[in-house]
Structure 1
Amino acid sequence: MTFSLRFPPCAAQCLYVLTDDNRPAIDEIRTNLSYAPALLEIARSTDLASDPKGKSPVVEERAVTLRVLGCGILRNVSPLPPPSAVALVDLEKEVLLPILGPVVSSVSLVEATDAVNSIIQRQAENPPVQRSPSKNGPKTDHKTPEEIELERIEARLRSVHLALEILTGVCATLPDAEEVEAEEDEDEGDDEDKDDDTMNDAENDGDDTKMALDDAEPTLNGTSTSQSELTPSSFLPTILEPLLALIQPTALSFPPPNEPSPHPPTTSALSAIHVAALECLNNAFLSLAANPPPAVSADVAAGRRVWNAVWTALGAAGMQSGAGQERRKDMWGIAVGVLWGVGRVWSGRVPPDAEQVNVLMRLIDQQADDALRVKCIGTLESLAQNAESVEANKLISQYFIAQLPTASAPSPLGTEPLLQVVSALIDIYSDEDKPYDVTFRQGQYLEALTLAVEGVRKAVKGIDKKREGGRDLWRHGGELRDNLVEFVKYRRALKL
């Protein structure tokens, strides 16, 4: 297997897919000392970005795609072991961000959409003459200038989408896998023999899986970091504005309900870009939310800017459902995760908007996806903690109280969303000095939570520990049930 700067994009695409979480393929590249330097050369080469024969701008776009694929393959197989010279390179800081950042910033989706619409209109007004090939002659592969330009635009959009896919991984700061596995193994001991009703000694999984951030204190409006390792708090400012631009739908992003797209390739590429850009933001804010650097939390203006941009994108996307609208659903599912992350980083400092609150509540009521419900509940929790919005706190908390089980009926939600509601109510009203605590007292929430204890216990007992993630949910539920009991005791002792 030999690499060169003429390495075809189709082969690079195959290798990119082949090395995605594929241990044998990854090991093969790691053990051959010539592979990684060749990939690094492809990723860094500027010669690829020009067409020496001047035949087609599409060739230049394919060259950009090849560089992006080189970055993707390198990230798939990293970290590279010594004695490879590439092992000495800080891949994310020195290669991926310097190359992929300009790619995601290189396109205006509005301009691309306008260009495609203009070409479509010209084609409709002046359809190309269809020449019938001779009976025995070869078929022509000649393309009109309009067709070539459409191909070029699509190629650039696909390159941007690919770059976003790779950056999505860079945006996630994950815990040390070996450390987490060791802690889980230590916890396993006697769990198999424990009764479902005695879970007081379960480990705090939330603490086990917290994602580490370095000690630097940058802001999202301008970096100032002394850290040696790359984290979302250090690089997010450089790509935040391009990401916020790429999540905004255009006229071609989603097909009209019950109608085909005017140009399906562009629609497919645009919607994929919106989803991928949101995934980048989701991973970045999920990492930041685990332990927000103080200076990031202090940059409230940045948080509100992201919050407003996401809601603007969702408003433009709409909530149509049905065949052909799957990308809209994907966009909402990921976007709510971004909102939850922003809400956790700037908890209580995003001004609640009544319309947005009602949209989140409707999603909880109408969607069957527990993961989406949990994210909506978490987002509402952060809004309810705004000390200047007592009415919003009342609206949200009354909704949460209505989701609790009673002596005669279980919760209308699934188990996981119910646990998130209980957790939210405890967090919101853990400080009786907050201005909105009056809602807790006047609404007799203590009585409702007391009556809910048995229903929560039953919900936790009914968790299937054999299903994927079931044991972790069971442990978390046991902790939460115990926390609820202690919270009720605490609030009762206040005698407020």
Structure 2
Amino acid sequence: MGKSQTKKKTQAWRHNPIRVPDAHVGAGKAEGKADPGKEKQMLPILKKLSSPEYADRTWACAAICNLIQNDAATRRLFQSRNVVGELIERLSDSVDEVVVEASGALRNLAIDGGHELCGEMFNKGIMSHLTTLTVKISATIDTILASDPSVPREHTDAEAQARKHLLALSENIISLIWCLAEASHKTLNAVNGAGVEGLLVKVVEGRKVVGAGVTLAALQALYSLTQDNRPFTSSVLRHPSAIYALAELCREDHTPAEEAGAKKRSKKGKGKSEGSEEVGDGRALLSRLLACGILRSIVKPGSRSDEDVDIQRLTNEVIMPLVNEMLDLDLPNITNRVSQLASEAAQTETDKPSAKDLKTDHQSSAEQTLERIERMLNTVVVALEILTGICAGLEDEEEKEPAGPGAEVEEEGMVQDDQDEDEEMDSDEAEMDDEDLINEALDHADMAEDDEDDSPTKVNTAVTIQSLLSHHLPQRLAKLGQLTPLSFPPAGSQPSSHPPTTSVLSTLHLRSYEALNNLLLTVVASLSGSTSDARTAETFPLQELWSSLMGTVQMVSSEPDVLMERGQEMRPEVLEMALGCLWGIIKLGPGSLNITPDQLQLLLSLSPLLRTPLARTRLIESLSTLASRPSVTSSENQLISTSLLSSLSVSNEPETTISLVNALIDIYADETREYDAVFRDGGYLAALTSAVGGVRAAVRKVDKKKEREMRARGEEAVENLTAFIKYRRQLAKTS
């Protein structure tokens, strides 16, 4: 339905937590045969994982990281030799350095391998090791935080090395927790039960001591775990200092930390080339935004926790200004720079250390800049996710809880009585033919009266609509949605020139359209019943938005076969969300849009490319509004209505059928419109009459027990269709 708003990110839309989906990289898209040279190195490395010498075990873990990086084929080869199980065993090694390297290798496997590999880790018992390590890390952090910072002391080499190991281990373990939380409901439930919220909050509290890397990992994990995850959210809210620590970080200026990080990098200066500092590190800014997103997820306005936060005030004074600063990217310039840097990185690839060296984090200047650009784009994605929630102003109907112990039983009895009554009605209807249904239909006047009883949609946003529009959000969000040459993986077996950037760009486009979709729907609801078309047209550059979105729709739909390829899952996601935005634009000002014949033909051809009934319903509603807009010509009306009528004759999908019936009734509900001759002269009345049986059959497919709301809408559509036919027949007799 067009009124569907996206309030939070859906976990399934995130391919994996940090980097690029496996299917985006070349070895994952092609046949994926492993490099023979790497294959020869595999067995000696695996043998050294269980060597009695800790140096060999450490080297083997580090070498695995080198060999599998962005190489799905080699990773699968190692998987076939149980590398995951071997590395999990090393998490209980007696030497800290081995544990650190093993956790790093597992973290990289989880990042590159995604959900499938996280599932394998879970099945091979990683959770017990992670639980043990989180307790150990938490206790060590307690010791560090408890030390008096006012008393200066020099650390011995052993203490410094132990601290270095702790920080590396903490970041790896927390990142693994994040990956597992994103993998599946089974792994998410395991993380929920592991009690990791205490460690994550502790890291946020001690962020100035544990460092930017560990803090960012903890916030990423918290951000992921608090999305539509009530058990974990409740645990965080029960933590005595979680809300305070997050609110403090949310209000904390990130600029000094970013400047300090830039100075630290400039002092190192080794291997730095021109342009290597063109993008800031961005970890402090991303951390602050994640804290904002976590608070907006867990603190509900008017709740007990809101007494300490005042989330509405925080949103207006801190979060929205911070998000607003993130929305003015020059994506074409960024993608050009990424392509240039990727080419430079490829030229220096041969100079990288071999597997025998332990410098697994060695990066060229180009690679470092690419990583910072990627982090910057991911920061914008988080900002857009927060903005999507802010713009979601349509209130949901809250489920009513049973009044007492016997209420639930009583409700079940009422449902059963309703179902018995529905079955009796179905039996009676089955004995009636289409003409009997039409003769017993309601009058047209009764239909209109029922529609008028619908209560207006409630609109409630933390930030006022006027404030949102004052930032020119529609234009800026539409600009972020415009595609670039790196937005999607290329068709075929060749990967993108820089797959991580392509992965995050796809998500960025989707998030920008989600935010725009929510904003448009909220404005549509707020202006319902308003007659000020001029005001709407002035507020929104409707034609500019229309042209921008149609450009995206045209580009994505121009390669229909690619939409179904593995690794191209984001193309149909972006297409369907862009159509949702078009729905809002059409509803806001259909009469002010200049729609070309090519654009109309494109919209009429899209239905087979859409994967869900929801997307098809949005498209049908949009076409219905275009067919009845003030400036529509009879030929345009005929083109659209003929297409809808043709779809109705072949549709067997209940939700689509219901939408088609409602659309055709809406188009021709007013017989005084100039285009009504299309209905009268085109034989539409006879076509709708012959469709009654098919519509009724489609509605009966809907299970009343599982989809009562859709069944009710379907039955209403049948009633409206028969009443409409009856009314049209009466008009034909009197004319």
TM range (shorter): 0.7 to 0.9
Contact 2:553 2:579 in 1 (8 A): no
Contact 2:627 2:636 in 1 (8 A): yes
2:339 aligned partner, one-letter code: N
Shift, 1:208, TM fit: 7.1
1:139 aligned partner, one-letter code: K
Contact 2:536 2:588 in 1 (8 A): no
CA distance 1:181–1:289, change in 2 (3 Å): farther
Shift, 1:434, TM fit: 1.6
2 CA distance for matches of 1:355 and 1:5? Answer: 56
1:302 aligned partner, one-letter code: P
Identity of aligned residues (%): 36
CA distance 1:297–1:463, change in 2 (3 Å): farther
| Secondary structure in structure 2 of the residue aligned to 1:255 | coil
1:170 aligns with 390
CA distance 1:27–1:163, change in 2 (3 Å): same
The structure in which a higher percent of residues are helix is 2
Tell me how large the CA RMSD over aligned residues is: 3.3
Q: Deviations over 1:403-439 (max 9, x none)?
A: 334xxxxx33522111111111111111122221121
2:463 aligns with 230
Shift, 1:367, TM fit: 4.3
Which deviates further from its counterpart, 262-271 or 86-95? 86-95
Equivalences for 1:196-345 in 2 at 5 Å?
Answer: 196=426, 211-213=457-459, 230-232=463-465, 234-238=467-471, 239-258=473-492, 259-292=494-527, 294=530, 295=532, 298-300=535-537, 302-317=541-556, 318-319=558-559, 320-321=562-563, 322-345=565-588
Equivalences for 1:375-390 in 2 at 5 Å?
Answer: 375-390=618-633
The answer on 1:482 being equivalent to 2:719 is yes
CA distance 1:296–1:388, change in 2 (3 Å): closer
2:709 aligned partner, one-letter code: D
1 CA distance for matches of 2:332 and 2:231? Answer: 42
2 CA distance for matches of 1:47 and 1:412? Answer: 55
1 CA distance for matches of 2:385 and 2:615? Answer: 21
2:318 aligned partner, one-letter code: V
CA distance 1:378–1:25, change in 2 (3 Å): same
1:44 aligns with 251
Contact 2:388 2:511 in 1 (8 A): yes
1 CA distance for matches of 2:597 and 2:331? Answer: 31
Contact 1:247 1:275 in 2 (8 A): yes
2:363 aligns with 143
Which deviates further from its counterpart, 427-436 or 193-202? 193-202
Shift, 1:250, TM fit: 0.8
Equivalences for 1:427-466 in 2 at 5 Å?
Answer: 427-466=666-705
1:471 aligned partner, one-letter code: R
Shift, 1:83, TM fit: 7.6
1:60 aligned partner, one-letter code: D
Contact 2:486 2:502 in 1 (8 A): yes
> Which structure has the larger Rg?
2
Structure 2 unaligned segments of length 5 or more: list them: 1-197, 266-276, 403-410, 430-440
Q: Deviations over 1:39-94 (max 9, x none)?
A: 12212221455242523467731111101100111011112515843137524323
Q: Deviations over 1:314-370 (max 9, x none)?
A: 234443322222211111111111112222232454333322222222222454532
The answer on 1:121 being equivalent to 2:121 is no
Shift, 1:33, TM fit: 5.2
**TM-score w.r.t. structure 1 length?**
0.85
Shift, 1:274, TM fit: 0.5
Contact 1:4 1:42 in 2 (8 A): no
**TM-score w.r.t. structure 2 length?**
0.59
Contact 1:211 1:290 in 2 (8 A): yes
Contact 1:364 1:373 in 2 (8 A): yes
2:334 aligns with 112
2 CA distance for matches of 1:25 and 1:118? Answer: 43
Structure 1 unaligned segments of length 5 or more: list them: 215-227, 406-410
CA distance 1:413–1:283, change in 2 (3 Å): farther
CA distance 1:426–1:234, change in 2 (3 Å): farther
2:459 aligned partner, one-letter code: L
1:424 aligned partner, one-letter code: A
The answer on 1:191 being equivalent to 2:191 is no
1 CA distance for matches of 2:571 and 2:698? Answer: 32
Q: Pick 1 or 2: higher relative contact order, CA cutoff 8 A, min separation 6.
A: 2
Q: Deviations over 1:269-325 (max 9, x none)?
A: 111100111111222223333453535774236222222111122234443322222
| Secondary structure in structure 2 of the residue aligned to 1:42 | helix
2:72 aligns with none
2 CA distance for matches of 1:190 and 1:179? Answer: 21
2 CA distance for matches of 1:341 and 1:277? Answer: 15
Equivalences for 1:92-103 in 2 at 5 Å?
Answer: 92-103=315-326
Shift, 1:22, TM fit: 2.3
1:491 aligns with 728
The answer on 1:68 being equivalent to 2:289 is yes
1:220 aligns with none
Contact 1:171 1:231 in 2 (8 A): no
Contact 2:377 2:504 in 1 (8 A): yes
CA distance 1:229–1:253, change in 2 (3 Å): closer
Q: Deviations over 1:241-282 (max 9, x none)?
A: 221111011111112210211100010011110011111122
| Secondary structure in structure 1 of the residue aligned to 2:545 | helix
The answer on 1:415 being equivalent to 2:654 is yes
2 CA distance for matches of 1:365 and 1:147? Answer: 41
CA distance 1:33–1:371, change in 2 (3 Å): same
2 CA distance for matches of 1:21 and 1:376? Answer: 28
1 CA distance for matches of 2:518 and 2:544? Answer: 17
CA distance 1:18–1:404, change in 2 (3 Å): closer
CA distance 1:377–1:265, change in 2 (3 Å): same
Contact 1:285 1:341 in 2 (8 A): yes
